[in-house]
Structure 1
Amino acid sequence: MDSRTRRSVSRSRLLAVVACFVAASMAVHARADEVHARLLTIGPAYSGSSVNVVANRRHSLFTHGRMQFAAYYDNDHHLVLGRRSLDGGEWITQRTAFKGNVKDAHNSISIAVDGAGILHVGWDQHDNPLNYARGVRPLELELARVPYMTGVAETRVSYPEFHLLGDGDLLFLYRDGQSGRGRLVLNRYSVRQRAWRTVQSNLIDGEGQRSPYWNLTVDSGGGVHLAWLWRDTPDVATNHDLAYAFSADGGASWRSSERAALTMPITVAADAYVAKIPMRHNLMNPPWIATDARGQPYIVSYWSDAPDSPAQFRVVYRSKDSWQTETITRRTETFALAGAGTRRPPISRGVLVVENTIDSAPAAHLVYRDDAAGGALLMSTDRLGSAEWRQRQLTRTSPGAWEPTLDPVQWQRYQQLHLLMQSVEQRDGNDAEDAGTAAAEIATLMIDPRVDQAR
């Protein structure tokens, strides 16, 4: 392993893009001392695709104790790990010997830190054998490759993601199979035994005719919430419908929102739907799911009322005994979401966070990119369900194909948004060629979205 370690001091076009956040924030807030945003550069990174800042990364940043970790690909396609102390430390990076197919934005890196402080990393996955490594010691960046987790269904892995449980164990999810013909696998890592086991070898099954595109979160009480949509072919235009399931036992059993038991595997016939959305309505995959302090789920994606109408971000949430859909945006520009491969639509996928209060209608914040609006945006509401959302500009110049990814621990613990930021390009529908751009600085942008919300 290449153990070259360096402090990140280089500068590139990202600084010009993200530095505008501070200027934009000053324009929003009445006094400069009300600007609760800070940019901390990490180092130069590959920017020829959106692989470093694609929204389905779980996770790009992760905090354990007073230490924060990051992962990305450099311009030589090597996996690079970063670490910094929350007590004012700069990023320290270590280039590993592991590489990825960075031209394909599906092949992103996912990280998490278990309860013992061990870093877990999955990378370079798109219908290929599992790539997995973990730290050799607590809080260290040196990795040891692990040839398999359980040995079950690990030859055609896509979309790896880790999630931390309250007892320090980890969940790991991935798709086994291909777009249009896949199933969801769920494993669990025991901190005490330092070993993985299969929880569900077939949690959601496309039955050879479709694939689920999912998102998962763990609430403060340990409940596991899963949202997904279905895709019937590799064409993103065949995305349809939103569904939801809940587990109180770490994924061993699942129930619908009405707490009716769901038979494993969950299929398209299961009574788990929360919103029926036809194909060719610009529904983006995967949805995003967040929870409030009461463990109530909120599911976010964008889609159109009709195939030729503007796509709008919407949040689907439970109110009394039924699911409601609230439209967040009022976009006027139209586009058609269709085709195979990584798409480059004019809006990114979104990340929703819900404030940690016991209110039945808590405050919430959505981060996404809209090219028509000039860059990255922050939408905020004082009460979910009120249909009253305020927009703030995060960048005054475009970050290219950037999509938001965040550190889940920073939000859960401090109600802070820590976002991985990089200006990147993405060829629409082309995962075989990159955009030919030079390395661009990657950084963390730290925001308190609650400051001065009413302005």
Structure 2
Amino acid sequence: MQANFHTLLWLLTAAASVVFGLSITSATTTTLGIDVEGSARLNGGSFQTSAITSYNGWQYAAFYNTSGTYAQNLVTLGRRKINPVAAWEFIVFKDYVQTTIDGHNTISLGISTGDGTIHLSYDHHDVPLHYRVSQQGVATNPASYTWSTALFGSTLNALPGATGIWTPVTYPRFERVDNDLFFELRIGASGSGDSYIYLYSSSTHSWSQVGRYLQGSDNNAYINGIDYLSGRLQASWTWRETPDVVTNHDLGYAYSDDKGLTWKNNAGTTIASMSAGTAIGPTTSGSIVYTIPQGSGILNQEGQIADAAGRFHVLNRETTSGTYLWYHYWRSATGIWTRNAISISGLGAPTATGLRGKLAIANSGELIALIPSNTNTEVYIYASTVAGSFKDWKLLWTGTGFSTEPLFDKARLKDQNILSVFFRQSGSYPDRKLQVIDFALGS
């Protein structure tokens, strides 16, 4: 498989270029490959954490590549040097064939920086765990290793070293924690499930169960994600009563300052303890920061991000005003929540189950929103500032020809101030491509 490597310098309008000092100075596009055949979006799902990540001057992207036969797809992992930028190189795992055309069954990618292991989890919708891991050191000294499937073990149905429940699994996620790695997943079905966290130790090269931190009661929590920054792990979610999206309700929030062992509500009261076997449920005191009734449009698994100033941000949508609107909810460093409708000229309204967006933080502190249109093939990148109370949204970029929930490389944004975004094009197979666009941010 060859990557089509080319550079596009986007000519931005003067109004889009002058945004609180933040601008996109250039955008470089590379093509990873052809998106797989079928009606479901197997590449580029909102809950796919992470499809793209970087470490130690190299970037990695995980996606399904077609085997050439309908509904027989192969896990593919790309890597490239990014300082300076080089061409992608790919490995294709042919020992596991993905056959379920279901948009839940995406691939998640994680790196343990302490021992240089690369972790993959894939193909889940209420099925047993699928997981594999590389040899130690592969991400620490990548130039020393020929990129090959021989660097990875086989597909496993349990996390090595950990005891746990390994089926039915949906929505596996990785999140870096210092030199180690979190793994979060749902056990159970839509409308009836619990959420667990595991911790990979780079010193012992094995997993341990942190515990069940969210527990359904004839319902389940759909998290927007888990974010670990400056010693704090934060999660937000909506509850769902049934598999029907209209039964989503409420915005929940909790944080942990001991790597998930105990959880606190917004007021700082401990509401769950893994050692005591207690978890956060739908009626746990102080865990709901905004009461949003069923049928009010809030969608599961939208966007969230923590920033270096101690704030926490959530992106979602509601119809509580009588019409669908995007919403930004944010928590100050002192625990005060604010709820703002995102009113931007030219930004179309979201829909009940339309494509979901993401939030990111520029090194200069601006909040970045990556929002896909719910009515056409456009994707927008906006920015806002704390000085403007995160209401002063300005357009940085518009792209067209996508059918994607944009995913970005959080590590590269922090390390290089480059917003690398994983996109899936619109269109039909085999013309529909998977691409990465690198947005250089400047002032």
Q: Assess, with a 3 A threshold, how the Cα gap between structure 1 residues 100 and 25 changes in structure 2: closer, same or farther.
A: farther
Q: Distance in 1 between matches of 2:37 and 2:379?
A: 17
Whether contact under 8 Å (1:175, 1:185) holds in the other structure is yes
Equivalent in the alignment of 2:77: 81
Q: Distance in 2 between matches of 1:423 and 1:25?
A: 24
1:422 Cα offset (Å): 1.7
Say yes or no: does 1:399 pair with 2:402: yes
Equivalent in the alignment of 2:144: none
1:335 Cα offset (Å): 6.9
Q: 168, 171, 174: which is aligned to 1:162?
A: 174
Whether contact under 8 Å (2:127, 2:167) holds in the other structure is yes
5 Å-filtered alignment, 1:275-424, equals 275-306=290-321, 308-318=322-332, 320-330=334-344, 337=352, 343=353, 345=354, 348-356=355-363, 362-372=365-375, 375-383=378-386, 385-395=389-399, 397-400=400-403, 402-424=404-426
Equivalent in the alignment of 2:270: 261
Q: Distance in 2 between matches of 1:28 and 1:91?
A: 31
Equivalent in the alignment of 1:446: 438
Question: How many equivalent residue pairs?
Answer: 409
Q: Distance in 1 between matches of 2:194 and 2:374?
A: 33
Q: Distance in 1 between matches of 2:97 and 2:306?
A: 35
Equivalent in the alignment of 1:184: 195
Whether contact under 8 Å (2:163, 2:209) holds in the other structure is no
Say yes or no: does 1:105 pair with 2:107: no
Secondary structure class of the residue paired with 2:299: coil
1:250 Cα offset (Å): 0.9
1:310 Cα offset (Å): 2.3
Q: Assess, with a 3 A threshold, how the Cα gap between structure 1 residues 24 and 155 changes in structure 2: closer, same or farther.
A: same
Whether contact under 8 Å (1:274, 1:316) holds in the other structure is no
Equivalent in the alignment of 1:8: 3
Gaps of 5+ in 2: 68-72, 140-146, 273-277
Q: Assess, with a 3 A threshold, how the Cα gap between structure 1 residues 444 and 25 changes in structure 2: closer, same or farther.
A: farther
Between 1 and 2, higher relative CO (CA 8 Å, sep ≥ 6) is seen in: 1
1:408 Cα offset (Å): 1.5
TM-score (norm 2): 0.85
Whether contact under 8 Å (1:25, 1:394) holds in the other structure is no
Whether contact under 8 Å (1:314, 1:329) holds in the other structure is no
Q: Distance in 1 between matches of 2:30 and 2:244?
A: 38
Q: Distance in 2 between matches of 1:177 and 1:112?
A: 23
1:316 Cα offset (Å): 2.9
Equivalent AA in structure 2 for residue 81 of structure 1: L
Q: More strand by proportion, 1 or 2?
A: 2
Q: Assess, with a 3 A threshold, how the Cα gap between structure 1 residues 439 and 71 changes in structure 2: closer, same or farther.
A: farther
1:287 Cα offset (Å): 3.6
CA RMSD between the two structures: 2.6
TM-score (norm 1): 0.83
Equivalent in the alignment of 2:215: 205
Q: Assess, with a 3 A threshold, how the Cα gap between structure 1 residues 8 and 26 changes in structure 2: closer, same or farther.
A: farther
Equivalent in the alignment of 2:206: 195
Q: Assess, with a 3 A threshold, how the Cα gap between structure 1 residues 141 and 187 changes in structure 2: closer, same or farther.
A: farther
Whether contact under 8 Å (2:126, 2:169) holds in the other structure is yes
Whether contact under 8 Å (1:404, 1:420) holds in the other structure is yes
1:28 Cα offset (Å): 4.5
Q: Distance in 1 between matches of 2:76 and 2:174?
A: 18
1:220 Cα offset (Å): 3.5
Q: Between the two proteins, what is the percent identity of the paired residues? A: 21
Q: Distance in 2 between matches of 1:212 and 1:336?
A: 21
Q: 57, 69, 94: which is aligned to 2:60?
A: 69
Equivalent AA in structure 1 for residue 132 of structure 2: A
Gaps of 5+ in 1: 1-5, 338-342, 426-435
Equivalent AA in structure 2 for residue 38 of structure 1: T
Whether contact under 8 Å (2:80, 2:87) holds in the other structure is yes
Say yes or no: does 1:173 pair with 2:184: yes
Equivalent AA in structure 2 for residue 440 of structure 1: R
